[in-house]
Protein backbone atom coordinates (compact mmCIF):
# COMPACT_ATOMS: atom_id res chain seq x y z
CA UNK A 1 0.00 0.00 0.00
CA UNK A 2 1.02 3.62 -0.51
CA UNK A 3 1.72 5.72 2.58
CA UNK A 4 3.38 8.98 3.54
CA UNK A 5 5.91 8.27 6.28
CA UNK A 6 7.94 10.44 8.63
CA UNK A 7 11.39 9.03 9.34
CA UNK A 8 12.69 11.97 11.39
CA UNK A 9 10.94 15.19 12.48
CA UNK A 10 11.84 18.27 10.47
CA UNK A 11 10.28 21.64 9.64
CA UNK A 12 7.61 21.17 7.00
CA UNK A 13 9.41 23.54 4.61
CA UNK A 14 11.97 20.72 4.11
CA UNK A 15 9.32 18.20 2.98
CA UNK A 16 10.01 15.54 5.65
CA UNK A 17 7.15 13.24 4.61
CA UNK A 18 8.08 10.64 1.98
CA UNK A 19 5.75 8.52 -0.13
CA UNK A 20 6.62 4.82 0.12
CA UNK A 21 5.17 1.37 -0.44
CA UNK A 22 4.34 -0.56 2.77
CA UNK A 23 2.76 -3.91 3.52
CA UNK A 24 -0.96 -3.88 4.20
CA UNK A 25 -1.43 -3.96 8.02
CA UNK A 26 -2.58 -7.15 9.75
CA UNK A 27 -5.60 -7.08 12.03
CA UNK A 28 -6.57 -8.88 15.25
CA UNK A 29 -9.86 -10.73 15.94
CA UNK A 30 -11.52 -7.62 17.45
CA UNK A 31 -10.20 -5.23 14.78
CA UNK A 32 -11.33 -4.06 11.37
CA UNK A 33 -9.21 -3.42 8.29
CA UNK A 34 -10.18 -0.04 6.84
CA UNK A 35 -9.60 1.00 3.24
CA UNK A 36 -9.04 4.73 3.64
CA UNK A 37 -10.84 7.17 1.37
CA UNK A 38 -9.74 10.47 2.91
CA UNK A 39 -7.77 11.75 5.89
CA UNK A 40 -8.08 15.23 7.32
CA UNK A 41 -5.00 17.22 8.33
CA UNK A 42 -4.68 19.26 11.48
CA UNK A 43 -2.20 21.18 13.63
CA UNK A 44 -1.45 18.06 15.68
CA UNK A 45 -0.07 16.45 12.51
CA UNK A 46 2.09 19.53 11.99
CA UNK A 47 3.37 19.48 15.59
CA UNK A 48 4.17 15.78 15.14
CA UNK A 49 5.99 16.22 11.83
CA UNK A 50 7.98 19.22 13.04
CA UNK A 51 9.02 17.55 16.29
CA UNK A 52 7.15 19.82 18.71
CA UNK A 53 5.67 16.62 20.14
CA UNK A 54 8.14 13.90 21.12
CA UNK A 55 7.53 10.87 18.95
CA UNK A 56 7.00 7.46 20.62
CA UNK A 57 7.32 5.74 17.23
CA UNK A 58 9.59 6.17 14.19
CA UNK A 59 9.11 5.88 11.31
CA UNK A 60 5.50 7.00 11.55
CA UNK A 61 2.49 7.36 9.27
CA UNK A 62 0.66 10.48 10.58
CA UNK A 63 -3.04 11.28 10.32
CA UNK A 64 -6.01 10.79 12.64
CA UNK A 65 -9.12 12.11 10.89
CA UNK A 66 -9.79 8.98 8.89
CA UNK A 67 -12.83 8.13 6.80
CA UNK A 68 -12.93 4.83 4.97
CA UNK A 69 -14.75 1.58 4.31
CA UNK A 70 -14.47 -1.69 6.20
CA UNK A 71 -12.62 -4.11 3.92
CA UNK A 72 -12.24 -7.04 6.33
CA UNK A 73 -13.30 -7.85 9.89
CA UNK A 74 -11.79 -9.98 12.64
CA UNK A 75 -13.61 -13.05 13.93
CA UNK A 76 -14.83 -11.25 17.08
CA UNK A 77 -16.13 -8.12 15.36
CA UNK A 78 -19.88 -7.58 15.81
CA UNK A 79 -20.32 -3.79 15.43
CA UNK A 80 -19.36 -3.48 11.77
CA UNK A 81 -19.72 -5.38 8.51
CA UNK A 82 -17.72 -5.36 5.32
CA UNK A 83 -18.62 -2.27 3.28
CA UNK A 84 -19.65 -0.09 6.25
CA UNK A 85 -18.38 3.48 6.20
CA UNK A 86 -16.40 4.21 9.35
CA UNK A 87 -14.30 6.93 10.92
CA UNK A 88 -11.24 6.96 13.18
CA UNK A 89 -10.23 9.75 15.51
CA UNK A 90 -7.20 10.75 17.63
CA UNK A 91 -8.14 8.33 20.44
CA UNK A 92 -6.92 4.93 19.21
CA UNK A 93 -7.14 2.84 22.40
CA UNK A 94 -7.27 3.00 26.20
CA UNK A 95 -6.54 0.42 28.87
CA UNK A 96 -9.97 0.50 30.53
CA UNK A 97 -8.36 -0.30 33.90
CA UNK A 98 -6.57 2.78 35.23
CA UNK A 99 -8.26 5.22 37.61
CA UNK A 100 -9.01 7.66 34.80
CA UNK A 101 -10.73 5.04 32.66
CA UNK A 102 -12.71 3.83 35.68
CA UNK A 103 -13.79 7.43 36.37
CA UNK A 104 -14.98 7.83 32.75
CA UNK A 105 -12.06 10.11 31.95
CA UNK A 106 -10.54 7.91 29.26
CA UNK A 107 -9.02 10.93 27.53
CA UNK A 108 -6.56 11.00 30.45
CA UNK A 109 -5.82 7.23 30.39
CA UNK A 110 -2.34 6.37 31.66
CA UNK A 111 -1.85 3.85 28.84
CA UNK A 112 -3.60 5.71 26.04
CA UNK A 113 -2.58 5.35 22.39
CA UNK A 114 -3.27 7.92 19.69
CA UNK A 115 -3.84 7.42 15.98
CA UNK A 116 -1.00 8.69 13.83
CA UNK A 117 1.22 9.08 16.89
CA UNK A 118 1.62 5.82 18.84
CA UNK A 119 0.38 3.79 15.85
CA UNK A 120 0.39 4.42 12.10
CA UNK A 121 -2.47 6.63 10.99
CA UNK A 122 -4.41 7.77 7.98
CA UNK A 123 -1.85 9.12 5.51
CA UNK A 124 -2.05 5.71 3.82
CA UNK A 125 -4.33 3.43 1.83
CA UNK A 126 -5.14 1.10 4.75
CA UNK A 127 -5.21 1.07 8.54
CA UNK A 128 -6.59 -1.09 11.35
CA UNK A 129 -8.57 -0.18 14.44
CA UNK A 130 -10.46 -1.92 17.24
CA UNK A 131 -14.20 -2.08 16.60
CA UNK A 132 -14.68 -0.28 19.94
CA UNK A 133 -12.76 2.80 18.78
CA UNK A 134 -14.29 3.22 15.30
CA UNK A 135 -17.29 5.44 14.56
CA UNK A 136 -20.14 4.86 12.12
CA UNK A 137 -20.36 7.93 9.89
CA UNK A 138 -23.88 9.43 9.61
CA UNK A 139 -25.55 9.73 6.24
CA UNK A 140 -25.69 13.19 4.72
CA UNK A 141 -21.95 13.87 4.76
CA UNK A 142 -19.50 13.20 1.97
CA UNK A 143 -16.22 11.59 2.99
CA UNK A 144 -14.51 14.97 2.63
CA UNK A 145 -17.10 16.72 4.82
CA UNK A 146 -16.97 14.00 7.48
CA UNK A 147 -13.17 13.92 7.93
CA UNK A 148 -12.80 17.22 9.85
CA UNK A 149 -15.53 16.18 12.28
CA UNK A 150 -13.32 13.37 13.61
CA UNK A 151 -10.78 15.63 15.30
CA UNK A 152 -11.45 19.28 14.58
CA UNK A 153 -15.12 18.69 15.28
CA UNK A 154 -14.68 16.48 18.33
CA UNK A 155 -12.07 18.72 19.97
CA UNK A 156 -14.11 21.81 19.14
CA UNK A 157 -17.15 20.22 20.77
CA UNK A 158 -15.22 19.21 23.90
CA UNK A 159 -13.70 22.70 24.10
CA UNK A 160 -17.19 24.20 23.92
CA UNK A 161 -18.31 22.06 26.84
CA UNK A 162 -15.23 22.81 28.93
CA UNK A 163 -15.55 26.54 28.20
CA UNK A 164 -18.85 26.31 30.11
CA UNK A 165 -20.64 28.40 27.48
CA UNK A 166 -24.38 28.48 28.11
CA UNK A 167 -27.15 28.80 25.51
CA UNK A 168 -27.42 32.44 24.37
CA UNK A 169 -24.06 33.24 26.01
CA UNK A 170 -21.25 35.34 24.48
CA UNK A 171 -18.40 33.19 23.15
CA UNK A 172 -15.00 34.24 21.82
CA UNK A 173 -13.03 32.07 19.40
CA UNK A 174 -9.31 32.78 18.95
CA UNK A 175 -8.01 31.31 15.70
CA UNK A 176 -10.44 30.21 13.01
CA UNK A 177 -9.22 27.03 11.40
CA UNK A 178 -10.81 23.60 11.14
CA UNK A 179 -11.98 23.27 14.79
CA UNK A 180 -13.35 26.77 15.11
CA UNK A 181 -15.38 26.62 11.91
CA UNK A 182 -17.18 23.55 13.30
CA UNK A 183 -17.48 24.90 16.85
CA UNK A 184 -19.13 28.13 15.66
CA UNK A 185 -21.92 26.13 14.02
CA UNK A 186 -22.63 24.26 17.26
CA UNK A 187 -22.51 27.47 19.32
CA UNK A 188 -24.91 29.27 17.00
CA UNK A 189 -27.19 26.21 17.10
CA UNK A 190 -27.24 26.77 20.88
CA UNK A 191 -28.23 30.41 20.35
CA UNK A 192 -24.87 31.91 21.34
CA UNK A 193 -23.37 35.19 20.16
CA UNK A 194 -19.97 34.37 18.69
CA UNK A 195 -17.03 36.80 18.46
CA UNK A 196 -14.09 35.64 16.32
CA UNK A 197 -10.50 36.84 16.69
CA UNK A 198 -8.14 35.94 13.84
CA UNK A 199 -5.39 37.67 11.87
CA UNK A 200 -6.62 36.26 8.55
CA UNK A 201 -9.02 38.39 6.51
CA UNK A 202 -10.23 35.27 4.68
CA UNK A 203 -10.96 33.52 7.97
CA UNK A 204 -12.86 36.56 9.24
CA UNK A 205 -15.01 36.49 6.10
CA UNK A 206 -15.75 32.80 6.63
CA UNK A 207 -16.62 33.43 10.30
CA UNK A 208 -19.06 36.18 9.31
CA UNK A 209 -20.60 33.91 6.68
CA UNK A 210 -21.11 31.24 9.35
CA UNK A 211 -22.83 33.68 11.70
CA UNK A 212 -20.25 35.49 13.85
CA UNK A 213 -21.73 38.72 15.23
CA UNK A 214 -18.28 40.39 15.24
CA UNK A 215 -14.81 39.63 13.90
CA UNK A 216 -11.45 41.24 14.50
CA UNK A 217 -7.85 40.56 15.50
CA UNK A 218 -6.67 39.37 18.91
CA UNK A 219 -5.70 42.85 20.13
CA UNK A 220 -9.02 44.38 19.05
CA UNK A 221 -11.60 45.08 21.71
CA UNK A 222 -14.88 43.24 21.22
CA UNK A 223 -18.04 45.30 21.69
CA UNK A 224 -19.11 43.15 24.67
CA UNK A 225 -17.38 41.22 27.44
CA UNK A 226 -17.29 37.45 26.86
CA UNK A 227 -18.82 34.75 29.03
CA UNK A 228 -16.47 32.11 27.61
CA UNK A 229 -13.58 31.88 25.18
CA UNK A 230 -11.64 29.16 23.38
CA UNK A 231 -8.13 29.45 22.00
CA UNK A 232 -7.50 27.18 19.03
CA UNK A 233 -4.28 28.82 17.80
CA UNK A 234 -1.04 27.50 19.40
CA UNK A 235 0.12 30.97 20.48
CA UNK A 236 0.65 31.50 24.22
CA UNK A 237 0.36 35.28 24.04
CA UNK A 238 -3.31 34.88 23.10
CA UNK A 239 -4.07 33.72 26.64
CA UNK A 240 -3.65 37.27 27.93
CA UNK A 241 -5.79 38.72 25.14
CA UNK A 242 -8.57 36.22 25.81
CA UNK A 243 -8.51 36.66 29.60
CA UNK A 244 -8.65 40.42 29.12
CA UNK A 245 -11.78 39.98 27.00
CA UNK A 246 -13.55 37.74 29.56
CA UNK A 247 -16.24 39.03 31.87
CA UNK A 248 -16.12 38.30 35.62
CA UNK A 249 -16.57 34.58 36.27
CA UNK A 250 -15.74 33.73 32.66
CA UNK A 251 -13.96 30.57 31.50
CA UNK A 252 -11.15 30.22 28.97
CA UNK A 253 -10.50 26.81 27.35
CA UNK A 254 -7.17 26.11 25.66
CA UNK A 255 -7.90 23.64 22.89
CA UNK A 256 -4.44 22.95 21.47
CA UNK A 257 -2.21 19.96 22.22
CA UNK A 258 0.77 22.32 21.93
CA UNK A 259 1.19 26.01 22.74
CA UNK A 260 4.10 28.43 22.81
CA UNK A 261 5.00 29.81 26.28
CA UNK A 262 2.36 31.90 28.01
CA UNK A 263 3.72 35.33 29.04
CA UNK A 264 3.89 36.43 32.66
CA UNK A 265 0.63 38.07 33.65
CA UNK A 266 -0.75 40.55 36.15
CA UNK A 267 -3.00 38.62 38.53
CA UNK A 268 -5.59 41.33 39.12
CA UNK A 269 -5.90 42.36 35.47
CA UNK A 270 -6.20 38.90 33.97
CA UNK A 271 -7.22 36.27 36.54
CA UNK A 272 -9.02 37.94 39.40
CA UNK A 273 -12.84 38.00 39.66
CA UNK A 274 -12.96 34.20 39.41
CA UNK A 275 -11.90 33.85 35.81
CA UNK A 276 -11.01 30.23 35.00
CA UNK A 277 -8.39 28.91 32.59
CA UNK A 278 -8.32 25.22 31.67
CA UNK A 279 -6.74 22.99 29.05
CA UNK A 280 -8.54 20.57 26.76
CA UNK A 281 -6.73 17.22 26.73
CA UNK A 282 -7.72 14.89 23.91
CA UNK A 283 -11.31 13.62 23.88
CA UNK A 284 -13.47 10.66 24.81
CA UNK A 285 -15.52 8.32 22.64
CA UNK A 286 -18.59 9.90 24.22
CA UNK A 287 -17.50 13.29 22.83
CA UNK A 288 -17.17 11.75 19.38
CA UNK A 289 -20.55 10.02 19.50
CA UNK A 290 -22.34 13.17 20.69
CA UNK A 291 -20.62 15.41 18.14
CA UNK A 292 -21.45 13.15 15.19
CA UNK A 293 -25.10 12.94 16.27
CA UNK A 294 -25.25 16.72 16.68
CA UNK A 295 -23.51 17.25 13.34
CA UNK A 296 -26.24 15.25 11.60
CA UNK A 297 -28.99 17.08 13.52
CA UNK A 298 -27.88 20.68 12.83
CA UNK A 299 -26.56 19.74 10.17
CA UNK A 300 -22.96 20.96 10.37
CA UNK A 301 -21.37 21.83 7.04
CA UNK A 302 -17.60 21.70 6.85
CA UNK A 303 -15.62 23.78 4.37
CA UNK A 304 -12.76 21.69 2.99
CA UNK A 305 -9.86 21.95 0.57
CA UNK A 306 -8.66 18.67 -0.93
CA UNK A 307 -5.10 17.59 -1.76
CA UNK A 308 -3.73 14.34 -3.22
CA UNK A 309 -1.90 12.15 -0.71
CA UNK A 310 1.46 12.83 -2.37
CA UNK A 311 1.03 16.56 -1.62
CA UNK A 312 0.81 16.08 2.17
CA UNK A 313 3.89 18.25 2.75
CA UNK A 314 2.39 21.08 0.70
CA UNK A 315 -0.94 20.80 2.52
CA UNK A 316 0.73 20.98 5.95
CA UNK A 317 2.81 23.97 4.85
CA UNK A 318 -0.35 25.82 3.81
CA UNK A 319 -1.89 24.88 7.16
CA UNK A 320 1.15 26.32 8.94
CA UNK A 321 0.77 29.54 6.94
CA UNK A 322 -2.99 29.78 7.74
CA UNK A 323 -3.76 29.61 4.03
CA UNK A 324 -6.46 26.92 4.15
CA UNK A 325 -10.05 28.05 4.62
CA UNK A 326 -11.83 25.57 6.84
CA UNK A 327 -10.11 22.17 6.83
CA UNK A 328 -7.56 20.45 4.62
CA UNK A 329 -8.27 16.88 3.50
CA UNK A 330 -5.97 14.36 1.81
CA UNK A 331 -7.53 12.25 -0.94
CA UNK A 332 -6.20 8.69 -0.75
CA UNK A 333 -5.69 6.98 -4.16
CA UNK A 334 -7.56 3.75 -4.85
CA UNK A 335 -4.51 1.99 -6.27
CA UNK A 336 -0.75 2.15 -5.71
pLDDT at 336 over 80: no
Q: pLDDT per residue over 157-183, tens digit each?
A: 999 999 999 999 999 999 998 899 999
What is the model's pLDDT at position 335?
A: 83
Asked whether this chain's domains 2-151+301-331 and 153-279 adopt the same fold, the reply is no
pLDDT at 101 over 80: yes
* 3-state SS assignment for residue 131: helix
pLDDT in tens, 269-304: 999 999 999 999 999 999 999 999 999 999 999 989
Condensed to tens digits (0 to 9), the pLDDT of residues 34-87 reads: 999 999 999 999 999 999 999 999 999 999 999 999 999 999 999 999 999 999
Q: In this structure, which topology does domain 2-151+301-331 adopt according to CATH?
A: Quinone Oxidoreductase; Chain A, domain 1 (3.90.180)
* pLDDT tens digits for range 211-257: 999 999 999 999 999 999 999 999 999 999 999 999 999 999 999 99
Q: Given this model, what pLDDT does residue 272 score?
A: 96
The class (CATH top level) of 153-279 is alpha beta
CB-facing half-sphere around the CA of 204: CA atoms within 13 A: 10
pLDDT beyond 80 at 152? yes
**pLDDT value at 320 more than 90:** yes
Q: What is the mean pLDDT of residues 177-205?
A: 95
What is the model's pLDDT at position 190?
A: 97
pLDDT digit string (tens) for 23-34? 999 999 999 999
Cis peptide before 147 (omega within 30 of 0): no
Output the DSSP codes for 185-235: HHHHHTT-EEEEE-S-HHHHHHHHHTT-SEEE-TTSPPSS-EEEEEE-SS-
**CA 62 to CA 16: how far, in whole Å?**
12
Extents of the domains making up the chain: 2-151+301-331, 153-279
Judge whether residue 325 has pLDDT over 90: no
Residue 204 has pLDDT above 90, yes or no: yes
Confidence (pLDDT) at 207 = 96
DSSP 115: B
- Using alpha carbons, select from 27, 28, 150, 148 the residue that is nearest to residue 88: 150
pLDDT for 94 = 98
Amino acid sequence: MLAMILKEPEVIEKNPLQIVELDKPKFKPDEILVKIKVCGICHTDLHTVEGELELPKKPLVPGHQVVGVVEETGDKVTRFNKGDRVGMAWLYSTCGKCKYCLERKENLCENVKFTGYHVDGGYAQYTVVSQDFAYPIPEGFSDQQAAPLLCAGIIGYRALRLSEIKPKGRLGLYGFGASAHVAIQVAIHWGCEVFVFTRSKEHRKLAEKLGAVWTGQAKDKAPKKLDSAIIFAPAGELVLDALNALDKGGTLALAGIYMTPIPQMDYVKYLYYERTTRSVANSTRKDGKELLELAAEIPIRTKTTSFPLKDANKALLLLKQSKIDGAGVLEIPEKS
